């Protein structure tokens, strides 16, 4: 049997245009997923149970997919430890991300999630010991200025606890993106998605006897939609990081603000206040400056390697 495209990550790592398109689709799909999250938690389903049903479809669907393609061997890995660390951090990130959506309006939760790029710069300096210049540090300050404008501490426009949860979610996602990029050097996209669910699902199942309740047909339909869009979004997100660098593909995430604003207006009858319209461009601009600077630095590194 010939080798499937997903079985050789290293040969697919340099497809930036495809990565941008996949990430654009991921932004749209994941915004719809967040609408389901907000609706289902507002209907009375607990956050833990919401996460459980979000993760549950992934394992059987992927097992069936690989079995039909006779590629179950793709799930074999020598990096179970790395997958477990990714799953533990990913589960925390999902709790925080879903929690932010339940605590904040959709547009505000989405906007604060954009600080992922800002946290990535800080992490690269503190953990990876990367030299960060004036451009990126200025972008960090600009981004946090946008956060202050949106949150407006003391004004009460949005819950400060919700804003803190959203910022913590963005920080965790920045860590996860680094993990996924590392795993993608040796692991196919679907393998990463599978092991994330395979490790996180049992942990959530342990809590189910304490949080599970009977559901109405409406709630079950919301949970089904959440699982479907969550599975599709997870695959697209992982695939984008497989084909392109984090700093490049993350630019497409900003399109989700458009969808979050429109869906927040259509589904929840809420438009962002003036503070969000003022602060969001600052955060988006910071992310774009960071992405531009990362792109320039990658070109300079490539040229230096050629020169050697």
Section 27-47 average pLDDT: 93
What's the mean pLDDT in 94-116? 91
- Is residue 5 over pLDDT 50? no
Ramachandran class of 44: left when φ > 0, alpha when ψ lies in -120 to 50, beta otherwise: left
Given a cut of 90, whether residue 49 has pLDDT beyond it is: yes
In the chain, what percentage of residues exceed pLDDT 70? 87
Most confidently modeled of 68-82, 94-108, 250-264, 290-304?
Answer: 94-108
At 3 the pLDDT is 38
- Report DSSP letters for 196-209, one per residue: HHHHHHHHHHHHHH
d(CA 32, CA 28): 7
Does residue 23 register a pLDDT over 60? yes
User: For residue 102, with 0-12 CB atoms within 10 Å meaning exposed, 13-18 middle and 19 or more buried, which class applies?
Assistant: middle
Convert 15-32 to b/e letters by CB count within 10 Å (16 or more is b).
eeebbbbbbbbbbbbbbb
Q: Which tens digits make up the pLDDT trace of 35-44? A: 999 999 999 9
Residue range 31-57: average pLDDT? 92
pLDDT in tens, 273-304: 888 888 888 888 888 888 777 767 666 666 66
In the prediction, which pLDDT does 8 show?
43
Most trustworthy range by pLDDT among 3-12, 134-143, 219-228: 219-228
pLDDT tens per residue, range 181-224: 788 888 887 788 889 989 999 999 999 999 888 899 999 999 99
- Structure confidence at residue 10 (pLDDT): 43
User: What is the SS3 assignment for 139-162?
Assistant: HHHHHHHHHHHHHCCCCCCCCHHH
Q: C-alpha distances in angstroms, 229 versus 115, 194, 234, 239?
A: 23, 16, 8, 15
- Measured CA to CA, the distance from residue 55 to residue 59 in angstroms comes to 8
Residues 33 and 230: beta-carbon distance below 8 Å: yes
- What is the reported pLDDT for 134? 79
Query: Residue 162 corresponds to which tokens in the numbers above?
Result: 């919700």
How confident is residue 51, by pLDDT bands cut at 50, 70 and 90?
very high
């Amino acid at each position: 049997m010939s080798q499937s495209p997903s079985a050789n990550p290293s040969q697919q790592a340099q497809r930036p245009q495809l990565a941008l398109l996949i990430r654009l689709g991921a932004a749209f799909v994941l915004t719809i997923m967040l609408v389901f999250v907000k609706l289902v938690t507002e209907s009375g389903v607990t956050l833990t149970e919401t996460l459980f049903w979000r993760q549950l479809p992934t394992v059987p669907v992927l097992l069936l997919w690989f079995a039909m393609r006779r590629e179950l061997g793709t799930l074999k890995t020598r990096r179970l430890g790395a997958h477990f660390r990714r799953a533990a951090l990913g589960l925390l990130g999902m709790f925080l991300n879903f929690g932010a959506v339940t605590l904040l309006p959709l547009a505000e939760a989405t906007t604060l999630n954009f600080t992922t790029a800002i946290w990535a710069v800080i992490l690269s300096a503190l953990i990876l010991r990367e030299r960060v210049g004036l451009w990126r540090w200025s972008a960090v300050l600009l981004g946090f200025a946008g956060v202050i404008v949106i949150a407006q501490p003391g004004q009460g426009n949005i819950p400060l606890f919700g804003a803190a949860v959203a910022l913590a979610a963005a920080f965790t996602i920045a860590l996860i993106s680094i993990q996924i990029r590392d795993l993608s050097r040796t692991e196919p996209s679907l393998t990463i998605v599978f092991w994330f669910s395979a490790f996180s699902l049992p942990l959530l199942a342990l809590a189910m006897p304490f949080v599970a309740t009977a559901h109405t047909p409406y709630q079950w339909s919301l949970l089904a939609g959440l699982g479907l869009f969550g599975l599709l979004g997870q695959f697209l997100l992982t695939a984008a990081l497989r084909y392109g660098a984090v700093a490049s593909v993350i630019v497409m995430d900003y399109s989700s603000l458009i969808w979050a604003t429109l869906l927040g207006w259509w589904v929840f009858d809420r438009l962002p206040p003036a503070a969000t319209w003022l602060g969001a461009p600052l955060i988006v601009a910071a992310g774009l400056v960071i992405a531009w600077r990362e792109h320039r630095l990658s070109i300079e590194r490539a040229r230096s390697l050629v020169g050697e």
